[in-house]
Each structure stands twice: as structure tokens, then as C-alpha cells.
Amino acid sequence: MVVPLRDDARAFCSGVSEKLCELDEHEWDALVSDENFYNSYRWLRALEHALGETDVLTVRGPAGLVAACTLWNGGQSPGLFYLPSFVADIPGPWQQKFLWLGGRRNTHNGVSCIEGRRRFEAQAELGRCASDYARDRGYAGFVMPYMPYSAALKFADAIGGTVILHSAEASLEVPETGLSGVMARWRKHARVQSKSEIATFRRLGSRVEWAAAVELDDSLAADLITQNRSRYGGVSDHEWMQKILAGQRTAGVSHFVNAAISKRNDDITALTIFYSFGTALHARYFGANYNLDLNDFRYFVLSFYEPLDYAAANGFTKLRLSTSALRAKVKRGAKIEPQALVAKCVDGQPICQHSANQHNLRTLRQYQDEFAGHLCRDWELVESNPNLTS
Amino acid sequence: MNTASSDQFNEYASIYEDMSQWPFRKYIEIPSVFQEIGDVDGLSILDFGCGTGMYARWLKQRGAGQVVGYDLTEGMLNYARRRAEKEDLDISFVSHLGPELIGQFDLVLGVYVLPYATTRPELQAMCADMVRLMRPGGRLLTLPIHPVYDPHPNYYEPYGFRLIAEDPENPYADGERVKLELCKNGEQGGVFAWYWSATSLERALEQAGLRSLKWRELSASAYPDANQAPKELHAYLQRPHSIIIEGVRG
């Protein structure tokens, strides 16, 4: 339906862009759907303030930006961002350097791209641009990790990439009645357990307050978050976390912050930082003072129970709960969504689609075994939409 | 507007927002619309075909109560939602008109939406959709293609666009397809629109239940006399490409 102007006038062109800060914030965000917070302009700018600038790939049409993404190098040691650990059973040059598309350390990615009929074409051009960038700089290929499975299928189709299931994310639909509405769907045992956790939290003198970023002390928040990360094997220190939060303030991400804080008397004992975006609340950081010997279920109160009521009262329809501690989240009503990376090698060496399909099916079975009854419908796509065997 | 017609806007969000700063809109269309709307304090308003939400944001900032933006184009809605979030404006942007919205609005604003009805039944349905949203006594303001726009293809080029009738011999034929090309900064793409005569527009609006229809010419309201407006606006003011129709739900 778009006016058939000359082909060269309608064609997309792509390249390594000027810096992110030189791109128009609103033009970028016009490509960002409600589900793609971690590729929104301010989040990416916050990462730049904290961790330094990165290159940006852009695709433009005659009327402006139609697709874009930031680039980074992934993690270099085992962890959430270490490619070899995602694909150990698939032959490929995984020990070589791969280019990563999307925001740094994102555990939820989507392609920032126009919607509609020309989305496929715009994504294809972004893929060509990523291939050229990777080839020119000696990368073996590129990946976009932590994509919702359905989005990964479409991106892979557009760029001739391979979909590799590698992770899962928990989320909760928020009914208008909040926590009570969610509990009404549970079995009695689960309801009793959650009510008991909430009662314990209160009996031990804890209460919850919600705070905007302006009311938060970044140093204290960084301390609590770092304590929690250290407890579970994280290596980033207090200074690193404070730098991240400072970057968010500079970039204006703090505008989206909603923090659930647990207090005893006037002492902050824990917090969960959420970001509101579109119709979802995105849980990103939990922190706690583990010097206090408190067994008051503050993680669950701050990250599940209270946010359900808060979300319902403020018109949010989804809680996004990230990729960790899935068992605990499922026990409290969360659904598990499949996440995949899209990979493409640039040296002409194809990724074995058969191996990728077998890997995906094995991963599917693992999640089916572990989380039966808690998987969202997108998991059905793993069986019904395999990679095309080359 | 059907899905195919709305899809053509997906990659034009930024340029449409930018257009609010183009002189013909900034000094003529937008002030004319606000003058016609008048005081919005506390009004519930639905911006039908809201695009990037420019009018919706301005109405909210000017004191409107509930503001809802409706558009079928996801690319436009992404822009509208992201921008309103950042500006802390409590506006709901939707792509579906649910039953909870029926009969709720004091004012429905439909800027450049009727030209995207591709057939007469679609024009009728679009008018019915807009009127259904209004409470009895509520007002509709809508901006179609002016029934006597200047059909010379380059007439509006100094204003950043061209309107090109598919059949230049018969530009005022009902349902005639018109090409809108954007050319302020080179060739920036374009979309198809459809021309509807004054008779067809009035009939569709009246059949939808609108009464007391009034036609208002766009003007440069900042200037007491059109001749005092900047010279570069004169040609547009003589033959504006759009016009305001106002009506009340009976």
C-alpha cells in the first residue's frame, strides 16, 4: 500500500551508525514495542553512561530509522552471557569471537524495528549489516540472545539464521484483582503457603513501601543488590552497581523506576527494583541486607506478592520476572516462556540445523519435565516450527 | 480504515510527528483545531486515528480529563506510548475500541482519518465508529481532504507534500484515490488517501447520527487578517488541503 516510489527511494540502507547519543530518542523508541524495554533508548544510553559507548547498527528508509540495535561482545567466562555454554551440543565455531546484538547483559531482547509488512525486509537488512560488520572485524558470526521464541523464529527467517533455545523467563499475568485474583487460581496448599509467608513477613515487623527513584539512595541500593549478587556467585562489586544506577539517573531511566522496599522500623532490609514500561512491570534487581538474620520471606513479598497488587492498582497487566530462580517463581504462579538466540556464522560455514533442532527438542523436554503445567503456549512452537534442515 | 490502509503508516511515525512543526500545521491547522475545540478542561476526549499521539498529548497537557488515543498502526502506537510515558502523561493508547469506550466521550477528534476510508461502506463505518464513542450531545471534530483542494500536483510542494489525484482529469470524483507524497527533505515516501465529496461526507456523518454539521475553514488564527500572515503561508491559506467539520451527536 506504500506509494510505489522509485525503488532506490524506497530501499533501505544500513550501516554502522553515528553514536547512540546522536540518534533521536523518540525516533528510536518508535521501533520499541511494549515488550522490549531493555532495548529502549534510555536503557541503552544508561548502559553507555555506566559502561562506555558501543557501536550501533541502523537501517534507514526514506522516512527515517526502520531498525536498529546496539552491539557488544558477550561474556568471556561461563555465566549468563557465555555463548559456548548455550550451544555445547551443537557443532560450530563457538569458541571463536561472536558479535552480540542487543543491549549489554540483556536477558530479554527483541529487534527494535518497524511493524507491518516491511518489518521482514527491515530485519533482513539489519542481518546483512550485522554480517558485514562481523566479517569486517573478524567475528565468526553474530547472535541475538534471550529473544522470545516466536520473535526469534521471525528474525531467523528474515536473516537466514538459526534458532537455538537456550533459556526461559518467568512472567505473571496480573488480574484486576491483583494477588487475591492470582491466589484464587492456586491449589489450597499453595495459597496457605503464600499467606503464611506474608504473615511471617508482617509478624517479624517488616512492612513494604513503594518508592520512586527520587526517593532511593543509590549507594544503599547498590549495597543491598551487591550483597544479593555476591551470595549467588556474582562478582560485580558495589562500585560497579552504583555506576549502573548512576547511569540510569543520567539517562532518565530512573523515570521508570518503581521500587518495592521492605522496612523494619526505619531500616531498609531489602528492595526489588522494577521498571514500568508499556503494560508491564519488569523486575530487574533484588537486594537484601544479609547481615540481618531475618527469615521473613522478603524476596517473595517484594518480588511477587506486593507487586501483584501494585500492578493491578496501577493498570499494569504483566509482571516480567526475568530468568533466574524459575522453580520458586513457578511455585508462586508464574508461567515460563521460552527464550532463544538467533545465530548466524559469517564465514559460509552453516550451523547444522538438524543439531540445532535436536538441541531445541532436548531443551524443550527438560523444561517440560521440570515445569510441567507451567509452560506458556509458545513452547509448542519449538516442535511445530523447527529450523529448516539445510 | 482497513488493515492494509493502516499498515502504510508503520514506518512514518517520526516524520508524522515532525510534521507538527511544519509551518502549514504549526501556524494554520493546529491553531485552527484548538480554536475550534475551545476549553478542554476536564473533558473526556478520544483521538481517533491518533498517530503519534501529538494531539492527545497536547489535549492532556491543556487539562483534558480522560484521554484515549486510538490507532490501528502499531508503529504509530509505539511512538505514542513511549513518548507519553516519558512525558508522564496518563493517556491510554489502544488499537481496539472495546465496549467500555462506547458513549463515553465529550469530544472525538479525527484528524486526517476519513481520507483513509477506501470505500463508501468503509467511510460510513468509520463515521459510525466515531459517533458511537460520543456521549449524547458530545462533539466530533474531523479533518477530511478539503472538497475543493487544489488538484495541481505541485501546489502544496512548498509545504512539504504533494497531493496527486490518480485521475488528474477528475480529481473530485468520489472515492478517487489520491497519492500523498512527503517531500520536505527529499523524497520521504508517501501513502494513499481517498477523496470524498462534501455530499458524501455529510451523508455519512448524518447517517452515523451527527447533527448540526458545520464546516470551518482553516485559518492562521494568530493573525487577525490572512494577509498579515507570513507570505509563504498565503498559497496554503487560499487553498488549504483540509477543512474542519464539526457536529454534535443527536
**What value of ipTM does the predicted structure carry?**
0.90
Tell me, yes or no, if B14 comes closer than 8 A to chain A by beta carbon. Answer: yes
pLDDT of residue A293: 84
The pLDDT tens digits for A239-261 are 999 999 999 999 999 999 999 99
Residues of B in contact with A32 (CB under 8 A): 78, 82
Residues of B in contact with A26 (CB under 8 A): 14, 17, 79, 82-83
Distance from CA of A19 to the nearest CA of B (A): 19
A377/A362 Cα distance (integer angstroms): 17
Mean pLDDT of B61-89: 97
The pLDDT tens digits for B127-141 are 999 999 999 999 999
Is B166 a domain residue? no
Residues of B in contact with A252 (CB under 8 A): 86
pLDDT of residue A8: 44
Residues of B in contact with A255 (CB under 8 A): 86, 88
Q: Which residue from B238, B214, B234, B227 is spatially nearest to B150, judged by alpha carbons?
A: B238
Asked if residues A90 and A351 have their Cβ atoms less than 8 Å apart, the reply is yes
Point out the residues of chain A with pLDDT beneath 70.
1-10, 18, 388-390
Residues of A in contact with B88 (CB under 8 A): 255
Number of domains in chain B: 1
Tell me, yes or no, if B24 comes closer than 8 A to chain A by beta carbon. Answer: no
Residues of B in contact with A278 (CB under 8 A): 81, 85
Residues contacting B204, CB < 8 A, separation 6+: B120, B123, B124, B126, B127, B196
The pLDDT tens digits for B203-244 are 999 999 999 999 999 999 888 787 888 999 999 999 999 999
Does the distance separating the beta carbons of A64 and B14 come in below 8 Å? Answer: yes
Does the distance separating the beta carbons of A64 and B11 come in below 8 Å? Answer: yes
pLDDT of residue A3: 35
Question: Which of the four pLDDT bands, split at 50, 70 and 90, describes residue B187?
Answer: confident
Mutate to test the interface with A, among B11, B22, B94, B191 (most CBs of A within 10 A): B11
Domains, chain A, ranges and CATH? 7-168+338-384 (3.40.630.30), 175-316 (3.40.630.30)
* Angle at the Cα of B42 from the Cα atoms of B36 and B48, rounded to 5 degrees: 55
pLDDT of residue B148: 97
Beginning with the edge strand found earlier in the chain, give each strand of the sheet holding B161-165 in spatial order. B161-165, B176-182, B190-195
Is B191 a domain residue? no
pLDDT of residue A388: 67
Question: Which of the four pLDDT bands, split at 50, 70 and 90, describes residue B8?
Answer: confident
Does the distance separating the beta carbons of B82 and A29 come in below 8 Å? Answer: yes
The domain in which residue B58 lies consists of 3-148+197-249
Does the distance separating the beta carbons of B189 and A61 come in below 8 Å? Answer: yes
Does the distance separating the beta carbons of B11 and A118 come in below 8 Å? Answer: yes
Residues of A in contact with B86 (CB under 8 A): 29, 42, 252, 255
A189/A345 Cα distance (integer angstroms): 49
pLDDT of residue A114: 96
Is B165 a domain residue? no
Q: Could you list the beta-strand ranges (E) of chain A.
A: 13-16, 56-61, 64-72, 98-101, 112-113, 141-148, 162-173, 206-211, 257-264, 267-277, 280-288, 318-320, 335-345
Asked if residues A265 and A325 have their Cβ atoms less than 8 Å apart, the reply is no
Is B102 a domain residue? yes
Does the distance separating the beta carbons of B83 and A63 come in below 8 Å? Answer: no
A234/A225 Cα distance (integer angstroms): 10
Is B155 a domain residue? no
* Residue at grid coordinates 514500561: A277
Q: Which residues are bridge partners to A168 per DSSP?
A: A338
Distance from CA of A367 to the nearest CA of B (A): 33
Q: Give me the CATH number covering residue B94.
A: 3.40.50.150
